Amino acid sequence: MRKRHLSAAAFLLSSAALVALPKVAVLDLAAQKGVDPSVVVPITESIMEEVVASKGYIVLDRAYIEQVLKEKEFQLSSLVSDTQATAAGQYLGADFVVAGRIQLMGDSHFLVAKMIEVRTGVIAAQASEQGEGKPAALLLMARNLGRKLVGAAPTPSASGGPPGTPSPSAAPAKDSAADRAPPQGARLKAGFILRGKLEDGPWTQAQALAVARVKERNAAWLEVLVAEQVEPPNLAAAVKRLARTEGCAVIFGTSMEYCDDLARLAREYPTVVFESLGGSWIPELPPNFGTFGIGEEGMYYLMGLVAGALSEKGKIGYLALSPKDDDFATLLANLFALGVKAANPRAQVLVRFLPPRHWETEGLSRAAVEALVAEGCDFLGGQDEPEVFRAAEAATQRGKRIRLFQRDFSHLVSPNVLVSGPLRDFTVPYERALFALREGSWKRGDFFSGTWDGGIRFGGGGPPFNPAFLPELRGKRVKTPDLGERPLLELIELRVDQLRREEWKILTGPIKDQKGQVRIPAGVRLETWDMPGRDWLVDNVKGTIPAK
């Protein structure tokens, strides 16, 4: 009798452990052109076996997945987008969904898959494998791919916490410092300084989302305090409160306008770690002052790609900061214009540079948008601020057809005009610094995030594109010299993957300026930061660079 009770108790404990584990739906990988469709099922099941073997997830059966999606009349396209994958995961009641593709590259096969958290749309892990196309080799590649995915994904919480919450006792993953779970120990206090309010919406949305995510995912060991609506003149008071009154071990400055003053204040509080958005250029930084940034150059090209494809008139407006305010203003405008040209070689980009410190004078951005619309532009990109999309909305109410891209704004902010935009995920640099502090390994450095580690992506933690514009997006195809003709959404996924793997250079010659002079010769491929000069615009741009 006692033996029976022990068995029942063991069963209940086992069941409780299973309930605590997150559910994963592994979707059939999409077979691209030239791939034998018969390899899809064995490759998908090999990946599933590795996820099962990790014992960290409940893996849904393929037959169940197929039945549920069929009942819901849910059709997956030939290239499953992040939006489709998360929607399928919601239908299936999964916490994570794995989606990917099989691509033929010459005589080799390329397998890539990503694990996406259904609740947030965040990519928890991504991995790829490349090799010859023999059946045995493909299955081995699939198994390696599965191992990489579960090895790079956040450790599931053994206490039944939210999916993707790192376990305090988990071993660090090797792929990314931001994915490592900190060891057990005392709670850490972290302070964040924001220009706006935490729940404010658009102006501090990227930072606010990241602060909320960091607070939720690391609640077991981290206490988060926020100083809101802090303008540069009030920075010292905010730092004093967080450092002395609240006892924060680390303070994050989330605006580039804080950089110089924050570096000075770091010297006044040598026992507190400071992490600043920007500031690596400041000479003789103190040892307790680290900097971080997010590379977004590739996203400007992709925004231009979508603008060129969706513009009906072939006239696209771009609002640029003054070169006095941003050294990269001309570079970003050129990258956007190159994206437009790739989608529509006949399209023209009308660039308007805003006056220096334009934000101090109300109405300058609105006036610039109205001028671009008056010149016939039906798509707008560039400077990110609420005044821009409000002006675009006003134009649509007057009967104009306007589409808009803006960084760090969800399409929910302005669903009638905002197609999408790259949202920076500051969770990556925040957690990198926090985990290092927790482990006792933090040291002064300049950390740079980007597409390669999930630091920036279309749509951020939500759908990549506004559902209202998906019919337009799905109907567009773009010809490329290296990938042939592709559906626009498929091309964007491929380009993002190439940027992540550093396999493709946007600046591939020949590239000419407005005067027809060759600036990057044919056959030359440059990194974006190596673009020669910042005193010229590419040949499909109409506009003039103001003097510094």
Burial of residue 443 (CB within 10 Å: 0-12, 13-18, 19+) is exposed
- pLDDT value of position 86: 78
Nearest to 91 by CA among 123, 69, 117, 73: 69
Dist CA 205 CA 196 (whole Å): 9
Do the beta carbons of residue 97 and residue 82 sit within 8 Å?
Answer: no
For the chain, state the CA radius of gyration. 25
Whole-structure pTM value: 0.64
Instruction: Name the strands in the sheet holding 541-542, side by side, starting at the edge strand that comes first in the sequence.
Output: 418-420, 403-405, 379-382, 315-320, 348-353, 541-542
What angle separates helix 386-397 from helix 364-374, to the nearest 10 degrees? 40
Burial of residue 498 (CB within 10 Å: 0-12, 13-18, 19+) is middle
Question: Could you say which residues of the chain have pLDDT below 50?
Answer: 1-19, 155-184, 202-203
List Cα–Cα distances, 280 to 256, 267, 285, 290, 298, in angstroms: 11, 16, 8, 8, 21
- pLDDT value of position 161: 36
List Cα–Cα distances, 162 to 20, 156, 218, 495, in angstroms: 9, 8, 10, 31
Do the beta carbons of residue 235 and residue 192 sit within 8 Å?
Answer: no
Question: C-alpha dihedral over 397, 400, 403, 404, to 10 degrees?
Answer: -60
Q: Which domains does the chain have, with CATH numbers?
A: 20-152 (3.40.50.10070), 187-296+426-451 (3.40.50.2300), 314-406+466-542 (3.40.50.2300)
Q: Tell me the one-letter amino acid at 223.
A: E
Q: Tell me the one-letter amino acid at 320.
A: A
Do the beta carbons of residue 298 and residue 451 sit within 8 Å?
Answer: yes
- pLDDT value of position 159: 32
Strand ranges in 135-260 using DSSP code E only, listed in sequence order: 188-193, 222-227, 250-253
Nearest to 142 by CA among 98, 77, 172, 82: 98
Dist CA 53 CA 44 (whole Å): 14
Do the beta carbons of residue 422 and residue 359 sit within 8 Å?
Answer: no
Q: Tell me the one-letter amino acid at 112.
A: V
* Beta-strand pair 418-420/250-253: unpaired
